[in-house]
Each structure stands twice: as structure tokens, then as C-alpha cells.
Amino acid sequence: MSDEHAGGNAAPEDRLPDGGEAAHEPSLVDRLLAGDHRALARTISTIENRQPGYRELVSDLYDHTGTADVIGVTGSPGAGKSTLVDKLAETYRERGETVGIIAIDPSSPFTGGAVLGDRIRMASTIGDMDVFVRSMSARGTLGGLSTATTDAVTAMDAFGKDKIIIETVGAGQNEIDIVRTADTVAVLVPPGSGDSVQTLKAGILEIADVFVVNKADRDGADRTVQELMEMIELGDGPRFGASAGHHGPGATHDGDAENETQGDHEETDGGDVGASWQPPIVETIATDGDGIDALLDAFADHRQYLTESGELAARSHRRHAEEIRTLLREDVHEMLETELERHGGVDGLAEAVQRGETDPYTIASDVLDPVEGCLEELDVE
């Protein structure tokens, strides 16, 4: 069993000493690349805690990434995300593929760490060394993903995991950051959602590559599927279109219908896959494992679409661009805060404004003028 199963943190002997010197040990990267789960746990702890040396560590891993299939699972609280993820991992393992799971949990208001409330529902793969589960804190981010999540995905990718599943907090409509990290996003919609389907239409539902109506044995599942189908048919975005789930033409309730997980792969005159993907709707009963094979097939269809259409490369490009922007924002903010503290801090400047000696815009211009000058001299090829 991965040592992460027990509680989401590295074992005490794997934690870095104060100061993070061990992050510079060449053997840590070598051990991770050699398949040492303990080294993977230690690496992710270094990344999540932003210990000294973590940047060099992530940088060393980049050359070994690009092969993992990253799947995001999101949806409202109570939709059954953790149970579903557990069954996905179990089924992938039955198919001979290795799995990494990053479970984004709410942050503790006291420590900032992850509140490990859902991990008890991930028990099917305990004892399997090829399933690595890591709980990470959302750290208050609106979209449910902390900056460290992308770096943790990089570590698991470099490690050689075939599938990396990210389970988000399930905060609701704002839970959209997952599209910047995952190749395929599955949105869980509980049965009997009713008007909430329309309420969420402009938010979380629009990020779905695959819709999942979990707990499909409950009352209201048929209506929820129908409402999702109507929403897809009326959708304006390029990712929406007609789709059939268990209740579509030729579909059966046990998930055996051939068409139930197929997106619309339109062929152009040149034989290439068309530009649109129409999200399928898959019903599952995660507690019993019903519909899981059909869901994995839907993920595989979407992966094929991404590859053949060129969208996989486009998403990778956008992901790297966003990562660069995020790092620059963080670094510039930290640099400016540090420099301002050396000159009395923001509070001192606020007092100067209050005394009428200056104003916020003048202060911002004065602070950023040297930065702007340096950028003008910078030659980036």
C-alpha cells in the first residue's frame, strides 16, 4: 500500500528536515524516477509545503513528464466523488494500469492542512502498491485547487503513473480551476437535482467533458438525465451537443449499450476528427461498481478525440502558459511584498496616504517603475 493511504502525509522518516536541504539530494529525483513511492511522497510534501529547493525539484522532473492521462472529477458535495474515484482506481488496476490520486480537501482553518474527511471511502485499493493516494489542501482557493496541485501532478507523471485522478473539493459553481489541470473533466450530478441543473448551467456544468449521474438507483435519476440532455442540446458552446446516456436511443439501464458513452466524433472531408466534442451522460452506482466500465470507456473516447483533433496539444500549451502566468504573479507579488517591508511596509505607505502626502496610484507607479524598466531591457527568446 502507498504510505499515502494511511493519512495523506509522508511517513515521519520521509519528512524533510527543517531548511529543506534534502530537496537538493540528487538521489531523491533518482529514487522517484526508479519507482520509489516513499520518494514520491517526500517530493509531494516538499512541493505542497513550498520548502526550499522545491522549484529545482519540480524543474528536474519536467523532462520526464507528458505520458500520464489526467482526469478531473468534480461536482457538488454529496455526489459520491470519493466512492466513484475509488472504483475508478480499482477498475483501472484490473486493466493493468497504475493510478495516482490527488484528493483536494477543504483546508483546516487552524493549520491550513487538508481535512481528511473523505479518504475513508477510498478503501478498495488498500494494499495495492500501484495506487498512490495523496490528500492535498485547497488552501482557500476559489476553484478548489491549490497552486501546488499542478506540481504534484508533474511529480506523479514523472513517476510513471498511467492515470492521475484529481478529486476536487466540490465547492459548487466556482469549481472550474480543474479545467486548467486535467485533460478530461467528469462532472457528477446527483439524482433529483431538478432546478439546480439550470442554476449551475453557467458554471460548473459547462466544464464537463463527461457527465456522470451517480447514485442512479435513486429516485430522480431519469429526470436528471433528461434535464442534462436538454441542456446539452440547447447549449451554445462548442463542447455541447446532442448526447445519449442510459436513456438515449438503444441504451440500456445496465450500461451495456454501445452508444451510451460515445461523444459525437464528426468526420471532416479530410478524415480528421471534427472540432467539437459532445459530452456523453453516464449513469453509475459507484457503491456497486455499476457503470464504471462504461465511464472509463467514455474517458478513453475523449482521450482519443483530444489526440486525433490536436486539442490535447492545445490544452497542454494553454496549461503551460497559465502555469507561467501563475508563477510570475506569485513571484512578483512576493518580491514586491518583501521589498515594501524593507521600506516600512504597506501600513507605512497607507499612513502616508492618510496624511495626504501621496496617493495609492502614485505609490504603485513608483514601486513598479523600476520593474518596468528591467522588463524593457529583458530579451526573452
Give the mean pLDDT of 39-55: 92
pLDDT, residue 360, reads: 93
CA 192 to chain centre: 26
Domain with CATH 3.40.50.300 in the chain: 62-314
Name the CATH superfamily for 62-314: P-loop containing nucleotide triphosphate hydrolases (3.40.50.300)
Residue 16: pLDDT band (50, 70, 90) is very low
The answer to whether residue 13 scores a pLDDT higher than 80 is no
The answer to whether residue 243 scores a pLDDT higher than 60 is no
pLDDT in tens, 178-198: 888 899 999 998 887 655 566
pLDDT in tens, 285-314: 999 999 999 999 999 999 999 999 999 999
Highest mean pLDDT among 1-5, 157-161, 235-239: 157-161
Among 111-115, 144-148, 230-234, 269-273, the least confident range? 269-273
pLDDT, residue 329, reads: 87
Highest mean pLDDT among 45-49, 173-177, 298-302, 361-365: 298-302
pLDDT, residue 379, reads: 62
pTM over 0.85? The answer is no
CB atoms closer than 10 angstroms to residue 319: 18
The answer to whether residue 137 scores a pLDDT higher than 80 is no
pLDDT in tens, 62-121: 999 999 999 999 887 788 899 999 999 999 999 999 999 999 876 544 444 444 444 555
Among 31-35, 110-114, 137-141, 299-303, the least confident range? 110-114
**What are the cell numbers at 171?**
465547492
pLDDT, residue 247, reads: 33
pLDDT, residue 270, reads: 37
pLDDT, residue 170, reads: 67
User: Using H for helix, E for strand and C for coil, what is the string for the chain?
Assistant: CCCCCCCCCCCHHHCCCCCCHHHHCHHHHHHHHCCCHHHHHHHHHHHHCCCCCHHHHHHHHHHHCCCCEEEEEEECCCCCHHHHHHHHHHHHHHCCCCEEEEEEECECCCCCCECCCCHHHCCCCCCCCCEEEEEEECCCCCCCCCCHHHHHHHHHHHHCCCEEEEECCCCCCCCCHHHHCCCEEEEECCCCCCHHHHHCCCCHHHHCCEEEECCCCCCCHHHHHHHHHHHHHHCCCCCCCCCCCCCCCCCCCCCCCCCCCCCCCCECCCCCECCCCCCCEEECECCCCECHHHHHHHHHHHHHHHHHHCHHHHHHHHHHHHHHHHHHHHHHHHHHHHHHHHCCHHHHHHHHHHCCCCCHHHHHHHHHHHHHHHHHHCCCC
What's phi and psi for 224, nearest 5 deg?
Answer: -65, -45
Residue 123: pLDDT band (50, 70, 90) is low
pLDDT in tens, 244-280: 333 333 333 444 434 444 455 444 333 344 458 999 9
Residues 213, 283 contacting (CB under 8 angstroms) = yes
Q: What is the mean pLDDT of the chain?
A: 77
pLDDT, residue 254, reads: 42
